[in-house]
């Protein structure tokens, strides 16, 4: 075997569906267990302070987790560690580091790069509303340049620490060519937010990305009852992320780690089933005269976005089976109006130029029967005008922002 073949054989000896069920659990039979144990300890006994000091020093210097029992739950937790191992396997990564939320994960990545003096970020819109806001507001001392994928190479500077893309992007489902973008990044690490596709449909590290992040709150958990974030990457960056996590404290709770590990075991079947319904709904919406435009990505998946000819607020008010709510990736179908909710925090001009029109609705398709979903959606599309009490007025002014930064003109990133 050549080295490549050997590497592949070692990195991916089992199919994704098998890894989803077994990764992070390989030691259980040896422990005489079937379900993974939940370790809720915040601290661990140690009768040898000198040895403990050496273990803490080693972590501080290298970011490597100490051998033996954990020291304190902000360094490391065995239940969370199982989820990290499993997610790394699914993404084909050397390691993964879990956080309290997707935003805590992105924060840790930005801080890890900024602490190396690399404070400049190049990013492609649209991104999830709060990711956009975190970068645009410069809250973490980073500076962002927004570009088209074609403008990435020209936007790189000596202090550029990261390039960020989402594909398919929230909420327009716009896709970027990860291979081409990774090439344009040169030696600057490319972070792909893989929340929408999940490793079931797309493994960005195989296409040249260096860092993959997820809002685990969405498909990885999959049941709308756990919040988390995770970053899959190489060993060196994982060690830096663990040091940042220790210092800043955005840890994933062990119960959340347990639920996320359990979520992974059904991720492939959930994703394929929901994606089948989503593709069918996208087809019907595209043929429907009440709908102006449908966005459904080439990579597939369970998200569909569409622009209605009428009032989008009527559709939201008109659904009965589908839940009008922010978030996505659950077993039940959710719908929301990005301009009002998920992307509200992005300035109106930036939102519009990124393709987030005021008529856009974002549908996260769940596991219900597709005919039931279509009849609910179809009835909502014909809903009578909302009663005044339920009408959500269109914003008269640019969206509220938490900084007083001037609203920029629409950038070239719009589509």
Ligand X SMILES: *Cc1c(COP(=O)(O)O)cnc(C)c1O
Residue whose beta carbon is closest to ligand X:
102
Those residues whose C-beta lies under 8 Å from the C-beta of residue 52, and which sit 6 or more positions away, are: 46, 71
Concerning whether 218 is annotated as a catalytic residue, the answer is yes
Query: What backbone phi and psi angles, to 5 degrees, belong to 277?
Result: -70, -40
CB of 135 to ligand X, least distance (A): 12
Query: Which is catalytic among the residues 218, 239, 344, 362?
Result: 218
* Using rule CB under 6 A, residue 229 touches ligand X: yes
Active site includes 298? Answer: no
Which of 76, 95, 193, 307 lies at the binding interface for ligand X (CB under 6 A)? 193
**x/- site string to ligand X, residues 146 to 185, per CB under 6 A?**
--------------------x---x---------------
Cβ 361 vs Cβ 316: under 8 Å: yes
Distance of CA 125 to the CA centre of its chain: 15
Shortest distance (Å) from residue 128 CB to ligand X: 3
The residue from 218, 270, 313, 314 that contacts ligand X (CB under 6 A) is 218
Decide the pairing of beta strands 120-124 and 143-147.
parallel
Distance CA 271, CA 329 (A): 9
End-to-end CA distance of the chain: 46
- Choosing from 132, 193, 350, 376, the catalytic residue is 193
Q: Does residue 198 bind ligand X (CB under 6 A)?
A: no
Q: Is 101 in the site for ligand X (CB under 6 A)?
A: yes
Residue 362: its H or E element: strand 360-364
Residue 357 near residue 310 (C-beta atoms within 8 A): no
Q: Is residue 129 within 8 Å of 356, Cβ to Cβ?
A: no
Q: How would you classify residue 151: left for phi > 0, otherwise alpha for psi between -120 and 50, otherwise beta?
A: alpha
Active-site residue flag, 193 = yes
Catalytic residue among 128, 219, 258, 296: 128
Question: Using the rule CB under 6 A, is 227 a contact of ligand X?
Answer: yes
Stretch 330-349 residues interacting with ligand X (CB under 6 A): none
Output the smallest distance, CB 130 to ligand X, in A: 6
d(CA 80, CA 99): 9
- What 3-state class would DSSP assign to 112? helix
Specify the stretch interacting with ligand X by CB under 6 A; choose among 100-108, 118-126, 283-291, 399-407. 100-108
Q: Which of residues 119-148 bind ligand X (CB under 6 A)?
A: 128, 130-131
Among 36, 63, 102, 318, binds ligand X (CB under 6 A): 102
Among residues 107, 145, 215, 240, which is the contact residue for ligand X, using CB under 6 A?
Answer: 215
Residues 210, 107: Cα–Cα separation, whole Å: 17
Alpha helices, H only, 202-253 = 235-248
358 is catalytic: no
- Residue tagged 């500076």 (tokens): 143
Q: Which is nearer to ligand X, 86 or 130 (CB)?
A: 130
Cα–Cα distances in Å, from 353 out to 15, 250, 370?
41, 33, 33
Q: How far is the CB of 7 from ligand X (least distance, A)?
A: 30
Out of 97, 103, 118, 381, the only residue in the binding site for ligand X (CB under 6 A) is: 103
Q: Which residues bind ligand X (CB under 6 A)?
A: 101-103, 128, 130-131, 166, 170, 193, 195, 215, 217-218, 227, 229
Catalytic site positions: 74, 128, 193, 218
């Amino acid at each position: 075997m050549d080295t490549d073949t050997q590497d592949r054989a070692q990195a991916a000896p089992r199919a994704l569906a098998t890894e989803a069920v077994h990764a992070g659990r390989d030691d259980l039979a040896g422990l005489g267990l079937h379900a993974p144990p939940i370790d809720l300890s915040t601290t661990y006994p140690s009768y040898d302070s000198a040895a403990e000091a050496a273990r803490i020093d080693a972590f501080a210097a290298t970011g490597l987790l100490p051998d033996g029992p954990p020291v304190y739950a902000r360094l490391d937790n065995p239940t969370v560690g199982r989820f990290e191992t499993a997610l790394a396997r699914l993404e084909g990564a050397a390691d993964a580091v879990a956080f309290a939320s997707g935003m805590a994960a992105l924060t840790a990545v930005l801080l890890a790069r900024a602490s190396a003096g690399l404070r400049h970020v190049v990013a492609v819109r649209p991104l999830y509303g709060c990711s956009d806001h975190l970068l645009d507001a410069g809250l973490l001392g980073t500076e962002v340049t927004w570009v088209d994928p074609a403008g990435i190479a020209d936007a790189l500077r000596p202090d550029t620490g990261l390039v960020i893309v989402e594909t398919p992007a929230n909420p327009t489902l716009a896709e970027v060519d990860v291979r081409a973008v990774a090439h344009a990044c040169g030696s600057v690490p490319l972070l792909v937010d893989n929340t929408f596709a999940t490793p079931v449909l797309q493994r960005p590290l195989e296409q040249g990305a260096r860092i993959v992040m997820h809002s685990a709150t969405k498909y990885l958990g999959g049941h709308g009852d756990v919040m988390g974030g995770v970053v899959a990457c190489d060993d060196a960056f994982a060690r830096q992320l663990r040091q940042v996590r220790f210092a800043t404290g955005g840890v994933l709770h062990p119960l959340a780690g347990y639920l996320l590990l359990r979520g992974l075991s059904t991720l492939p079947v959930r994703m394929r089933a929901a994606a089948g319904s989503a593709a069918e709904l996208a087809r019907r919406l595209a043929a429907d005269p009440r709908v102006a435009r449908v966005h459904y990505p080439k990579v597939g998946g369970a998200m569909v976005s569409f622009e209605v000819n009428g009032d989008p607020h009527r559709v939201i008010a008109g659904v009965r089976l589908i839940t009008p709510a922010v978030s996505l990736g659950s077993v039940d179908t959710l719908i929301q109006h990005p301009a009002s909710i998920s992307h509200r925090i992005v300035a109106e001009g930036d939102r519009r130029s990124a393709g987030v029109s005021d008529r856009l609705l974002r549908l996260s398709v769940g596991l219900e029967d597709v005919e039931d979903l279509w009849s609910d959606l179809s009835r909502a599309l014909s809903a009578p005008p909302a009663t005044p009490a339920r009408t959500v007025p269109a914003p008269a002014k640019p969206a509220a922002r938490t900084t007083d930064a001037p609203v920029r003109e629409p950038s070239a990133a719009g589509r």
